[in-house]
Structure 1
């Protein structure tokens, strides 16, 4: 197979800030695949996703963003409930 036919590796790194980044990262962990790495740095959650195809990368990023939105909302709700 020629190099032109081989799929390239595609990568995206997403960095988002949160009031409770450790909680958000922990909530995301069960849904992360082997192609994903997540780290907490200060108030930021940084996740890198690597896939062979651009379409697969786009789908993984989309799934991750949905999970991130839910994790952040649950974290906020829990924090607000604890402060009541």
Structure 2
């Protein structure tokens, strides 16, 4: 078995974790620790691990961008 743990920092880690969790496979676990989203991925092969990690990082980037846009829409503009 191959395993990787990916830790990323976000302004709203709980929102990002909730956003990406539906895309997780049974071999993935996403949780929040302090200001971080922590995801553990386990696969039988290195190639499978690499492919899953790559897909996860793309999903994570989209979830983070959406969370940031959502925050901008709900935060009053005081300019």
When normalised by structure 2's length, the TM-score is 0.94
Q: Report the structure number with the largest CA radius of gyration.
A: 1
Q: Which residue number corresponds to residue 57 of structure 2?
A: 65
Residues paired across the two proteins, number:
76
- Distance apart, 1:42 and its partner CA: 1.1
Distance 1:12 1:29 in 2: 16
SS of 1:34 mapped into structure 2: coil
Structure 2 residue 4 is matched with structure 1 residue 12: yes
Distance 1:21 1:79 in 2: 12
Q: Which residue number corresponds to residue 16 of structure 2?
A: 24
- Distance apart, 1:46 and its partner CA: 0.3
Q: Which residue number corresponds to residue 74 of structure 1?
A: 66
Task: Give runs of ≥4 in structure 1 deviating > 4 Å.
Answer: none
- Distance apart, 1:74 and its partner CA: 0.1
- Distance apart, 1:63 and its partner CA: 0.2
Structure 2 residue 36 is matched with structure 1 residue 44: yes
